[in-house]
Amino acid sequence: MNQKQKNIVLLFILGLLVVSAIIFGLTGEQSINTIKNKEIFNVQDSSLVDQITIRSKVKNIILKKDAGTWMINDEFKAEQNIVKVLLSILKDVEVVRKVPKTQEEDIYKYIIDEGYLIEISGNGKLINSFYSSGNANKTISYMMTIDSNDPMIVNIPGYESYVAGIFEIPVNDWRDRLILSTSWRTLQKLNIDYVEYPQYNLNIKFNFNFLRIEGVSNLDTVRMMSFIENFNYVNADRYLDKGQIGKYDSLLNTPPTVTLSIEDIDTKNSKSINFYPAIKNDPMMLGFVKEDNQMVLFEANRIQNLFAVKSDFEIALNDGQE
């Protein structure tokens, strides 16, 4: 066979490879690109969902709608906006493609061993269920039906997002961050005790028909009312479990620097919170809510607005005035 004939044969083989590649591209992915397969993991009508269970080897999280409010494990109110994000993901998630054949077995084992089993229910009936996990770099999300060993790569159309991350959120980060909410209409007593400097303690108390500050005779009422507004919504930045972060566990064993006590008409807003010394170069301040036996973190600069002393509310007398 001369060189010209060899070239013709090579061109013919190359042509077959190109045609095969085109055919595979048109047919090989067809089964995964159908509307049915793309939406195999989603829930079209999220309004029907009233329970979402996220199971792992570590802990189960049960999100349940109770009288229109989502709760966590029948114990805490959930952060409603995070639940809305989850429902939006469940509605929009789509399959991109199957994982490469060379990685299929390893990814399957990883999902089964380290992933999450998601169960979505409504009115007592299972709507959908699947496994979820992601790669080590948290850039690729996998889902897999519970009756297959066929993991798939998923995303939200139009977004470069790590979909699996929503199922990896710890229990505490699902919780509503509102610690208490009071106002001048419902506040009965507010005490701020400075452990090492009791002379600066602040005591606000409802007396007859209005609030008063003990030890302040010339009260700046406007300033007091403005200060009380800081307690309309006292939110934590993060909840902590004991043993979760060592430096805060150690700090909890030291005396607090400030204790804040609120007594409200609504008993759920009557709380006592211990605040602990700031750690160098740490933007957060540790608090401990006694009634809830709960460690919490507050952004230090923000929480400073809750601290005041009596002199902040004194109206200065003009010179010569008795």
Per residue of the chain (322 residues), what is the pLDDT tens digit? Answer: 544 444 444 444 344 333 343 333 444 444 444 445 789 999 989 999 999 999 999 889 999 999 999 999 999 999 999 999 999 999 999 999 999 999 999 999 999 999 999 999 999 999 999 999 999 999 999 999 999 889 999 999 988 889 999 999 999 999 999 999 999 999 999 999 999 999 999 999 998 889 999 999 899 999 999 999 999 999 999 999 999 999 999 999 999 999 999 999 999 999 999 999 999 999 999 999 999 999 999 999 999 999 999 999 999 766 444 4
Q: Are residues 148 and 237 in the same domain?
A: no
CATH number for the domain spanning 147: value is 2.60.40
CA distance 70 to 85: 13
Q: Are residues 151 and 199 in the same domain?
A: no
Q: From residue 41, give the alpha-carbon distance in Å to each of 53, 67, 123, 154.
A: 15, 27, 19, 9
Query: Given the structure tokens 């001048």, which residue do they identify?
Result: 184
Give the pLDDT confidence score for residue 188 in this predicted structure: 97
Burial of residue 133 (number of CB atoms within 10 Å: 0-12, 13-18, 19+): buried
Residue 191 domain-assigned? yes
Q: Angle 87-91-96 (CA atoms, 0-180°, nearest 5)?
A: 125
Q: Are residues 231 and 163 in the same domain?
A: no
3-state secondary structure of 179: strand
Give the pLDDT confidence score for residue 316 in this predicted structure: 74
Q: Are residues 161 and 184 in the same domain?
A: no
Residue 273 domain-assigned? yes
Q: Are residues 162 and 263 in the same domain?
A: no
Q: Are residues 38 and 109 in the same domain?
A: yes
Q: Are residues 161 and 187 in the same domain?
A: no
Q: From residue 262, give the alpha-carbon distance in Å to each of 129, 181, 190, 292.
A: 44, 10, 5, 14
Q: Are residues 284 and 205 in the same domain?
A: yes
Tell which of 156, 174, 192 closes a domain: 174
Tell which of 174, 198, 218 closes a domain: 174
CA distance 11 to 110: 44
What one-letter code names the amino acid at 295? Answer: M
Give the pLDDT confidence score for residue 207 in this predicted structure: 86
Q: Are residues 308 and 182 in the same domain?
A: yes
Residue 137 domain-assigned? yes
Number of structural domains in the chain: 2
Tell which of 174, 206, 222 closes a domain: 174
CA distance 53 to 36: 24
CA distance 172 to 191: 28
Residue 288 domain-assigned? yes
Residue 322 domain-assigned? no
CA distance 93 to 77: 26
Burial of residue 320 (number of CB atoms within 10 Å: 0-12, 13-18, 19+): exposed
Q: From residue 156, give the alpha-carbon distance in Å to each of 117, 159, 169, 187.
A: 19, 6, 18, 46
Burial of residue 19 (number of CB atoms within 10 Å: 0-12, 13-18, 19+): exposed
Q: Are residues 185 and 302 in the same domain?
A: yes
Residue 24 domain-assigned? no
Q: Which two tokens stand for residue 259?
A: 């204790």
CA-based end-to-end distance of the chain: 122
CA distance 168 to 219: 51
Give the pLDDT confidence score for residue 302 in this predicted structure: 93
Nearest to 131 by CA among 141, 116, 119: 116
Residue 94 domain-assigned? yes
Q: Are residues 196 and 142 in the same domain?
A: no
Q: Are residues 192 and 253 in the same domain?
A: yes
Range of the domain at 65: 33-174
252-287: burial string, b at 16+ Cβ within 10 Å, e else: beeebbbbbbbbbeeeebbbebbbbeeeeeeebbbb
Residue 241 domain-assigned? yes
